[in-house]
A and B are shown apart, each in its own frame.
Chain A
Amino acid sequence: MKKVLLPLICITVVTMAFAMGFIYAKQPRLAYVNLDKVYNDFEMKKELEKKLTTVQDMRKRQLDSLELGLNILSRTLQNFEMSGNKKGLEERMPEFEMLRQEYLQKQQAFEQDNQAMTQQYSEQIWKQINQYVKDFGKNKNYTYILGGDGTGSIMYAQEGNEITADVLAYVNESYKGSGGKN
């Protein structure tokens, strides 16, 4: 009896282990990522932000210098007006108008360019983040990775299901060229 029972128990245990392993493997693997953190700590975002700030500062300096010239000329015109120097006023007025137009045009163009640049950079950043998170999910066998962005898309999740740090490390390593093999 003992001789029959022992192999039977062994077979049952092994079968159950396999079955449990199979069931576990079939279960969806779910995790969530704090997208705000990934976005803000993404190396590419930091690089582009620096680039954008440099460009915006340069543009601001250009505008400031134009504004200064405009203010000086405006004060000169006011002096002409107060002293009744009509000839001086007539002579310098077209110059003031031209400078004012140039200032306004540049201000508008810079605003539009800054906006377009911000949008373009943001699109590029998200394109890369989305790709790397997708690669991460595939490589680590996740069924779903949910993105929490602080707007209420994930209202509650167990702490153990957060993979932000892993994703961030993967995203930054992929950006630096590992080709998704990290």
Chain B
Amino acid sequence: MRLVVQIVALLAVPLMISCAKENLSPKQYVNYIREETNGLNVSKQVGDYEFRLLYKPYEYIALMQDKDENISRQQLDQKIKPMKGLQYFTLTIRTKSGQELMREGISEETEYYDRLDYLVSYMQNDLSLIDGNDTLPCVLYHFERNYNTGPDNNLLLGFDIPANKNTGRDKTLVLEDQVLGTGKIMIRIAGNDINRIPQLQLLSQ
């Protein structure tokens, strides 16, 4: 019996060690979120466009606001407090040609302004998040206009967190495209990858 307990203990220790989340410094944490292989920054190409979805935990957003390596836990918590209640993503749409999104494949100047109007005011209605079995409308939307300074066009998105919150659920962003000609676009962030996010280790607590 004692031998069995010892064997179980021997097997359990490495398992527990491997399951324990590692601690990362602010810089490492930001890099971890951005690193494609960690599954929180997922891209998909359709036709002339690349769609990239970034899942942004509260800590990531707070760190990106200040970019201060020496931020304390108290300062971080203060920054996080108003963010709570929503889950945040950035959808980046990049054109293959490197042109501004509004200009890609248009034939008349009026189309440019139609697209701009759509991106600024109406695209929000065509975005939703499938969180487990819940389909959530986009409640926070901001189109970052880049004035043709680069190929990336960022959409900052926020969705409610369902009442029966379960962090292990896959999250699929759905874009019912109306102007780009790609049709419905879906990008999924796996629940397992969200669960695997390491702990943030701050220099000063």
Q: What residues of chain A have their CB less than 8 Å away from a CB belonging to chain B?
A: 44, 47-48, 120-121, 123-125, 127-128, 131, 135, 174-181
Contacts and interface: CB of A to CB of B under 8 A. Distances in A.
Nearest to B39: A181
B186 A175 contact: yes
Contacts of B44: 174, 177, 179-180
B86 to A, nearest CB: 21
A179 B39 CA distance: 10
Interface residues of B, number: 16
B187 A179 contact: yes
Interface in B2-61: 39, 42-47
A128 B187 CA distance: 13
Contacts of A179: 42-44, 187-188
B184 A177 contact: no
Contacts of A124: 181-183
B173 A177 contact: yes
5 closest residue pairs by CB, A with B: A124-B183, A177-B188, A177-B186, A179-B42, A127-B47
14 contacts: A44-B183, A44-B184, A123-B181, A124-B183, A127-B47, A127-B183, A128-B46, A174-B44, A177-B173, A177-B186, A177-B187, A177-B188, A178-B188, A180-B44
Contacts of B184: 44, 47
Q: Please indicate which of the listed interface residues B42, B44, B181 has the most CB atoms of chain A within 10 Å of its own CB.
A: B44
A135 B43 CA distance: 12
B92 interface: no
Contacts of A127: 46-47, 181-183
Contact of B183 (A125, A174, A180): A125
B68 to A, nearest CB: 32
Contacts of A174: 44
Nearest to B189: A177
A68 to B, nearest CB: 34
Nearest to A124: B183
Contacts of B188: 176-179
Interface in B89-108: none
Nearest to A135: B45
Interface in B75-127: none
B172 interface: yes
Given A177-B173, A179-B188, A48 B183 contact: yes
A89 B9 CA distance: 99
B11 to A, nearest CB: 31
Contacts of A177: 42, 44, 172-173, 186-188
A131 B43 contact: no
Given A176-B172, A177-B173, A131 B45 contact: yes
Nearest to B177: A124
A87 to B, nearest CB: 51
A79 to B, nearest CB: 49
A96 B61 CA distance: 65
Interface in B118-173: 172-173
A19 B43 CA distance: 37
A101 B184 CA distance: 37
A111 to B, nearest CB: 22
Nearest to B37: A181
Nearest to A47: B184
Which among B39, B46, B172, B181 has the highest number of chain A CB atoms within 10 Å? B46
Nearest to A128: B46
Contacts of B182: 124, 127-128
Contacts of A121: 183
A136 B205 CA distance: 47
A131 B183 contact: no
